[in-house]
Amino acid sequence: MIDYKMETALDALKTAIISDYTSSYSVYSWQDSSGTPRTEIQARMLDQFINGIRFDEGSKYVKVVTGGSVWGFIVKGKDAKFQPGDILKAASWATPARNKARGNVLNGDFSWVKWTGPAYLI
């Protein structure tokens, strides 16, 4: 069961994902000066993206899904290698990449958050 602190952190993660997505709108001039999408199609795309973000709770991880794709995984509790709240890139639909955490939602490290998923290691 997700506790209040994790739920609040997941809400902040969702906000960070949406923020990165909407900033890509402005890069391509899809928004007017007020931040509103320029066309009805763009508004619908934005709405579908926002409403398509969901959190599927498993026994060890919370899977973050955007539309029909796995965005990444969040470590729920005790783990030999990771801290609760660590952001992991997806290796597949059901498995996280366990090489390195890309931030931690509980301490507010969203520097690795992109709308397409956690950033690659450099």
Tell me: the pLDDT tens digits for 3-37?
A: 889 999 999 999 999 989 888 766 556 666 666 66
Q: What is the pLDDT of residues 52-82, one digit of tens each?
A: 999 999 999 999 999 899 999 999 998 999 9
Q: What is the pLDDT of residues 84-96, one digit of tens each?
A: 999 999 999 999 9
3-state secondary structure string, the chain?
A: CCCHHHHHHHHHHHHHHHHHHHHHHHHCCCECCCCCECCHHHHHHHHHHHHCEEEEECCCEEEEEECCEEEEEEECCCCCCCCCCEEECECCCCCECCCCCCCECCCCECCCEECCEECCCC
Please state the pTM of the whole predicted model: 0.86
Burial of 20 (0-12, 13-18, 19+ CB in 10 A): middle
